[in-house]
Copies of this chain bind each other. A is one copy, B any other.
């Protein structure tokens, strides 16, 4: 399987680049399988299939968002700890547990509405080596 490198993530949809609380974005959600459980995410945390986590293209790690499956109205709160998606029209990749709460494991990708709850401060810029 060819995987995307972190630097290859395409630019996010314009609506999400400001990253303010209350901001709303609409598009498709995908989910992680159990295959990657325990592997490192872009934030350095390990992917935990039972945690409420997700990948977003631009929101700072630690940001909390509410994701609503617009097909059935179910919603879940997740914390951003990875970068993605790379799929066309994809706005968020959810952990298996979050996808289960949204009732999308059998359906596959579903349309969602994403609302930014609180934006985590961006990580400190790395200092240049002396």
Instruction: Tell me which residues across on chain B come within 8 A of A11, comparing CB atoms.
Output: none
Is B37 touching A35 in the complex (CB atoms < 8 A)? no
Residue of B nearest to A34 (CB): B30
- Given A96-B108, A108-B49, A109-B37: A84 touches B1 (CB 8 Å cut-off): yes
Number of copies of this chain that the complex holds: 2
Using C-beta atoms within 8 Å of the partner chain, give the interface range for chain A.
20 to 34
Give the segment of A15-23, A40-48, A61-69, A118-126 that binds chain B.
A40-48
- Given A105-B106, A106-B105: A37 touches B87 (CB 8 Å cut-off): yes
Is A87 touching B3 in the complex (CB atoms < 8 A)? no
CA distance A70 to B93 in the complex (A): 30
